[in-house]
Structure 1
Amino acid sequence: MRTPLYLDWNATSPLRAPARDAMVNALDVLGNPSSIHGFGRKARRLVEDAREQVAALAGSTAAQVTFTGGGTEANNQALSLAAHHGRRLLLGATEHPSVLECIGPGAGIIPVGHDGWIDLTALESLLAEGPALVSVQAVNSETGIIQPLAEIAALVHRHGGWLHSDAVQAVGRIPFDMAALGLDLVTLSAHKLGGPQGVGALLAAPSVPLAPLLRGGGQERRMRAGTENVAGIAGFGAASQAAKQGLEGYATIANLRDRLEAAVRQAAPHVRIIGADAQRVANTSCLALPGIGANSQLMAFDLAGIAVSAGSACSSGKVKASPVLTAMGYGEDVAGSAIRVSLGWDSAEADIDRFLACYLPLAARAVKE
């Protein structure tokens, strides 16, 4: 049996060695970080050190970082501010479900173009209707397309709005500076950059009056009740520091992704490479193979011991087209046949060869059928 090959880094990444070490050390620290005695202060030090490390990765200050139970919780807390402060919600059409499912009465969806970018003209029209909290992801998890956040932030601020960005697929993969981009709220997730699952952060600019989603304690400056996950937070901090130091390595990852796509173009020109002409993160390739559904492709890869992801999901036996690709204007043949290949710091040339050995016969079969 062949060694399993993991090409689904956008779903979750392996735990980095520094993060594992930090977590193991933290598990040996006795004390509640809210306690004032020596034991508690030692646990508190771990939390605050990690807060500094996370802030350094995202171009913010430690005072702006509120630890959460993950990216979904951080997104929900950020978007809850709309109702709290009497603002409309405006959400990008290709956002993660943890953003789109926060939609309520009076909320608006900002369309995207075929290139996956937010339609700035449509956004400006929506902003003219009154104060808004706008949520636009930094990087799309399926396509890897990078949104022009600085331009969007300038437009939102001209209309007196706030801009939130789900940046879980961006930090640690591209240089990211919350302040320089003009962002008011940013969501991060530890397990996307080599930290543990179940811990994230919401970063808020000083001008945004943050409100708690969870109440019942004074933790996180009263912004997130509940005893902090000290070991998870310590791992998040260590992973953030390692990710910042490893940013240059994404040039090598880009070479791997580009070699994969070049081979697909040459051998299977009928395959659609989504976002190929757009600015993307280095590790992501979204390939649509009209004629063979995404689920059938996933099964073939799984039998070959290769983990990739799909731009479509199976619910009650029915394949659904990717909402992201549908929002970008692609038809069912493309949106229902797309898979995502996502690489990481351990990916190698041999991984690309093995992927192609499985994928290219599928692509040839699609032509025959």
Structure 2
Amino acid sequence: MGGGGSFACPECGNELKLKGTTAGRQLRCGWCETWVEVPFLPRAVVRRARFSRGRRPKWVTWAWGGVAVVTLLLVVAGTRGILRARSRQRVEGRLTALVAEAEAEENAARFDAAVKAIQDAIAEAARLDSLRPARLEELQRLRDKFVRRAAVAQLESAAKAAPAAAIATYKALLARTWRDGSLEGLEGTLRERLERTRRQWAEADLAAARQAVGAGQPNEAIDLCDRLVKTAEELAPAVQSQLQNDAHAIVVALIDQRGVIFDPPQGQFTLGTPQSYQTTLQPVLSPLLRQHGYVTDRPSSSWNSLWKTRAPYHVAVEVVERQNGSYLNTGSQLSSLSLRLMLNREGSSIWQVGPLLAQTQPSIPSLSAFTASRFATDARRRREFERVLYDDAQATLMVKVQSSLRNLPDVRVSKP
């Protein structure tokens, strides 16, 4: 190999310089005088960066990837912008339509509908104008105007309505004034109208009650007085006291003259009770007594307690229940019932019927074929079956009671 270089002497280690001597030639060491063969010394190779044909550098790949990402982000951002713009256009369209609808409803004097439309418009505008409060404020002003016009229209309508409907309207509007600032200033008007309507209603009921007394309709008079009392509870104390005292005088006079109460039934009972007879008889007797001019007690009346102490008429019931004899071939007992009905005035009987007798029928219409076959051959005494037999006897008894009430006397009112 030609060229420069150096290598160590294998005998003494002295460095031997090469100057043009090729490999394989012999060279004498200057230190130990030994002839040594020049070895093969490879040349130093300087590597150069080379590009393989058809292969790109990594930075090119990364660069194109970055371009793709940026492009994708731009596309996404553009698409979102387009969608937002279209969505905004749709909301703007709905908002415009709702405002137009509200104005049309206002022009047609349908103010409640106008309020609803403008409230929907405010909800739509809130989605768009979070940074633009001016339009929201304008819509809110429209809403307040419509609400007030609706309230004024309701006031005008209530002035022509029946008292009950008018009072309900005024109370509803009054409650709204406490929640809605757009109705500020109406509270005084509402309270004045509410007071006036209540008083007029109570006075009208008082006059109607007096007319009902004169027309021989005492129960209608008491119903009117009961309503008057509830209406007057919201009036000023002086007015309330006067109206309620007048109503009290009417009701007390009617109870003193026509009042009737139901005494607890007396007698002997097997499957029935005093309460069961009162529950069964009172709904039957009360309408008939009212038709004949009596005034019956009523739990809902403000004067219910007066009946017990002042009513001159009493309905008394005497009952005798027995069980005797077996039903067909069964061990269950038949029911026999006896009832006497009396109308007393201040302890003296003025009318009575009975004793009315009833017993279990041989063939019970209410008894199904299945139940009849179930008990037909049962020699044991069955309480549930005896209840069926008892109910049949009582149903027969009630038919006789209703028939006997046809000759119930009219109330006798003492003339002052």
- TM-score class, shorter-chain normalisation, is under 0.3
Q: Structure 1 length as normaliser, TM-score?
A: 0.22
Q: Calculate the TM-score normalised by the size of structure 2.
A: 0.20
The one of the two structures with greater contact order (alpha-carbon pairs below 8 A, sep at least 6) is 1
Q: Pick the structure with more helix per residue.
A: 2
